[in-house]
């Protein structure tokens, strides 16, 4: 079962990678990252969701579809 704290930590994990100001791969604002995480979770219906690097890459695909 995924808890709200898990989603928060995953969002922060994505933010470390993709934040436009401080990220390793700066591509989005924190607000955009939050939206992309929510969209990814919604696409999976919470199933087969591990909140790991695979899921982080799926968030990046939402942020940069091409």
Range of the domain at 27: 4-63
For the stretch 2-40, pLDDT in tens is 899 999 999 999 999 999 999 999 999 999 999 999 999
The number of beta carbons lying within 10 Å of the beta carbon of residue 11 is 19
Measured from the Cβ of residue 31, the count of other Cβ atoms closer than 10 Å reads 8
Q: Is the pLDDT of residue 66 over 80?
A: no
Q: How many domains does the chain have?
A: 1
pLDDT(56) > 90: yes
Query: Is residue 46 scored above 80 in pLDDT?
Result: no
Identify the pLDDT of residue 54. Answer: 97
Q: 47: pLDDT confidence band, cut at 50, 70 and 90? A: confident
Q: How many CB atoms lie within 10 A of CB 30?
A: 17
């Amino acid at each position: 079962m995924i808890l709200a704290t898990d989603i928060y930590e995953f969002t922060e994990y994505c933010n470390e990678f993709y934040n436009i100001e401080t990220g390793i791969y700066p591509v989005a604002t924190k607000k955009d990252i939050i939206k992309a995480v929510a969209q990814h979770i919604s696409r999976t219906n919470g199933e087969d969701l591990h909140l790991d690097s695979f899921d982080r890459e799926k968030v990046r695909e939402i942020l940069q579809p091409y």
